[in-house]
Chains A and B, each alone.
Chain A
Amino acid sequence: MFKVLRVVIGRDLLLSMRRRADVANALLFFILVASLFPLGVGPEPNLLRTIAPGVIWVAALLASMLALGRMFAADYADGALEQMLLASAPLGLIVIGKAVAHWLVSGLPLMLLAPVLALQFDLPIDALLVLVASLALGTPSLTLIGSIGAALTLGVRGSGVLTSLLVLPLYVPVLILGTSAVDAAAGGVTVQAHLLLLTAFLIFAGAFAPWAAAAALRISLD
């Protein structure tokens, strides 16, 4: 079982390393979107500090959504996905492996970049740590939920916009919990409840989303 996971994760990581530009694009998008806000709303430090958690979280959410298209599209185009459906290993497990690899190249860099962006917004140091923690717990959930949307829209025309239409409503709880955790930290209130709820959401998504995504893949490749 772990061998399957290791092989899938290793393969996907290797493939993303061969296409480094794709990974970098989503990160650049994240930096650009977050940097547009101070230009748009004006450089008033108090205002920036107030909107920082929301802006950074929304930018991270959009960047991770943009990257969703990569999750299955290349494998679908070259037929590797059909081989995975026929493989003796459970499809849900393969989806978990692909989601982990996808998070390592899309979610993890976002999480590491976020504190640098938060400094632009003058967030206090405590809130920075909570921001990283909330992204560490939240972005895997985004990837897992997004895998369902990406699998459903495989090979559909205009799939990029459609994926966002399907996935964004389901992202809302993560967004609310993530930003309220950072808000609470910036306001000096305890953040434990928010982080625990994010963890619960992650466990829930981890338990169910891969199987739903596997079912969606079977429908898409029917």
Chain B
Amino acid sequence: MSRPSEAAQSPRPSFGGRINWFKYSSPQSFFPLAGAAIPWFAAAAALFCVAGLYVSFFVAPTDQQQGEAYRIIFIHVPAAWMSMFIYLVMAFWAGAGLVFNTRLSGMMASALAPTGALFTFVALWTGALWGKPTWGAWWVWDARLTSELILLFLYFGFIALTAAIDDPRRADRAAALFALVGVINIPIIYFSVQWWNTLHQGASVSLTRAPTMAATMFAGMILMALGFWMYSIAAAFIRVRCIILERERNTEWVAEYMREQR
């Protein structure tokens, strides 16, 4: 996509021809790449989740204040991280789709939305299960819980908007704009425990400080987060392959692919 004059002036040496950054932005070339990558990501997800569950249930020590009930954070915290992270990735692809007008970006965004909604729901549900023994209530109208609930509604809105518009290109662009407007909620969720003095505890893990928990607990959480991350990629790739086949069903290569499958 870069202009020829720029390429001619470029002082950088070329390594066997210029890399075409947009090669895999075409659904046709991305389809087999995703297909080849899915087993690897799925295997990594299974591996990390098994290791993470082992560490969190058998290795990590019992919490001094919260007893055994705290172990739900090994699902809860990584799911909450993923719910926000997937929204950012989704908004990134949505924005890229609006800027570069690439079809695959919109497909990727709509493939990510259900996984993001799933993790948001898991985070809310496990939070409720943890809240009952610890706070004595399934749900409190706390800033972080409320903003996470709004995130779930934003995912639903995105999915509903994509589903309601018949023309897929228009659906992608409209949903992309909505996703970008909704991004404002992510910092609100993340910083809600700092901005408002609420019941939900502050972050136990941060990039700038040492974690305020035992090393094995931290390891369990990171392993689970990696497992969820790999799962999200695998699930999104499977879904995006379905979307590609559905939208490109009138093309030559899909017809050929379907013949091979029989």
Q: Which of B153, B154, B174 contacts A219 (CB 8 A)?
A: B174
Query: Do A212 and B177 have beta carbons less than 8 Å apart?
Result: yes
Q: How far is the CB of A25 from chain B (nearest CB, A)?
A: 25
Does chain B have a CB within 8 A of A142?
Answer: no
Task: Report the separation of the CA atoms of residues A172 and B182 in the bound assembly, to the nearest whole angstrom.
Answer: 12
Does chain A have a CB within 8 A of B186?
Answer: no
- At the interface, is chain B mostly helix, strand, loop or mixed? helix
Segment with Cβ contacts to B, from A45-53, A58-66, A162-170? A162-170
Report the interface size for chain B: residues with CB under 8 A from the other chain: 20
Q: Which residue of A lies closest to B188 (CB)?
A: A173
Query: Do B170 and A169 have beta carbons less than 8 Å apart?
Result: no
Query: Do A162 and B177 have beta carbons less than 8 Å apart?
Result: no
CB-CB contacts below 8 Å: A50-82 with B: none
Binary flags per residue of A202-222, CB closer than 8 Å to B gives 1, else 0: 000000000010011001101
Segment with Cβ contacts to B, from A97-105, A107-115, A150-158? A150-158
Query: Do A165 and B153 have beta carbons less than 8 Å apart?
Result: yes
CB-CB contacts below 8 Å: B223-256 with A: none
A216-B156 contact, Cβ under 8 Å, with A152-B161, A153-B164, A162-B161 = no
- At the interface, is chain A mostly helix, strand, loop or mixed? helix
Does chain A have a CB within 8 A of B173?
Answer: yes
Interface size class of A (residues with CB under 8 A): 20 to 34
Does chain B have a CB within 8 A of A148?
Answer: yes
Does chain A have a CB within 8 A of B131?
Answer: no
Taking CB atoms, residues of chain B closer than 8 Å to A220 are 170, 174
Taking CB atoms, residues of chain B closer than 8 Å to A165 are 153, 156-157, 160
Task: Report the separation of the CA atoms of residues A169 and B169 in the bound assembly, to the nearest whole angstrom.
Answer: 25
Q: How far is the CB of B118 from chain A (nearest CB, A)?
A: 18
Q: Which residue of B lies closest to A176 (CB)?
A: B146
Binary flags per residue of B139-175, CB closer than 8 Å to A gives 1, else 0: 0000000100010011011001100110001100110
Taking CB atoms, residues of chain A closer than 8 Å to B138 are none
Task: Report the separation of the CA atoms of residues A209 and B150 in the bound assembly, to the nearest whole angstrom.
Answer: 19
A156-B165 contact, Cβ under 8 Å, with A172-B146, A220-B174 = yes
Interface centre among B165, B169, B185, by most chain A C-beta atoms within 10 angstroms, is: B165
Chain A interfacial positions (CB closer than 8 Å to B): 148, 152-153, 156-159, 162, 165-166, 168-170, 172, 212, 215-216, 219-220, 222
Which 8 residue pairs of A and B lie closest in terms of their CB atoms, listed nearest first? A169-B153, A219-B173, A166-B157, A169-B150, A156-B164, A152-B174, A165-B157, A219-B174
